[in-house]
């Protein structure tokens, strides 16, 4: 069964550094999303992406965040200058219709 994959599974970075989280959505899906979950808290929407542009973004998704689909298979989330409060699980999701399918997540730890 096709699935969303994410790399790396765990990323440790120092405050102020740039990180890129990578996702490979399900191949025939056209809609892509990033969510995050701070430890012990709810899953929060960050951004949705379709047709090479952002469809919607949340208040969390400020100028420090960007997304890109650099080729036909990858979907990336970049954080330009990480803060301690960016430490969280980041989930990528994709959809063809209405059900979103999530990847296993990348645990980002900012020290």
> Which residues are at the interface with another protein (CB under 8 A)?
4, 30-31, 33, 35, 37, 42-45, 48, 50, 55-56, 58, 89, 91, 93, 95-105
CB of 57 vs another protein, minimal distance in Å: 9
Q: How far is the CB of 19 from another protein (least distance, A)?
A: 19
Smallest distance from the beta carbon of 51 to another protein, in angstroms? Answer: 9
Distance of closest approach, residue 55 Cβ to another protein, in angstroms:
4
| φ, ψ at 104 (rounded to 5°) | -75, -15
Q: Smaller CB distance to another protein: residue 74 or 81? A: 74
**Any residues with CB less than 8 A from the CB of 23 and at least 6 apart, and which?**
4, 5, 6, 32, 34, 74, 75, 76, 77, 92, 94, 103
Backbone angles phi, psi at 86, to 5 degrees: -80, -5
- DSSP annotation of 62 reads -
- Of 17 and 55, which CB lies nearer to another protein in the complex structure? 55
16 vs 51 by CB, closer to another protein: 51
- The residue among 18 and 56 lying less far from another protein, judged by its C-beta, is 56
């Amino acid at each position: 069964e096709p699935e969303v994959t994410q790399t790396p599974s765990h990323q440790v970075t120092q405050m102020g550094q740039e990180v890129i989280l990578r996702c490979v959505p399900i191949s025939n899906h056209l809609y892509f999303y990033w969510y995050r979950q701070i430890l012990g808290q709810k899953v929060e929407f960050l951004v949705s992406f379709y047709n090479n542009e952002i469809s919607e973004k949340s208040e969390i998704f400020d100028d420090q965040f960007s997304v890109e689909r650099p080729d036909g298979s990858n979907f990336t989330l970049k954080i330009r200058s990480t803060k301690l409060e960016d430490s969280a699980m980041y989930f990528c999701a994709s959809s063809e219709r209405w059900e979103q399918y999530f990847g296993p997540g990348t645990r980002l730890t900012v020290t």
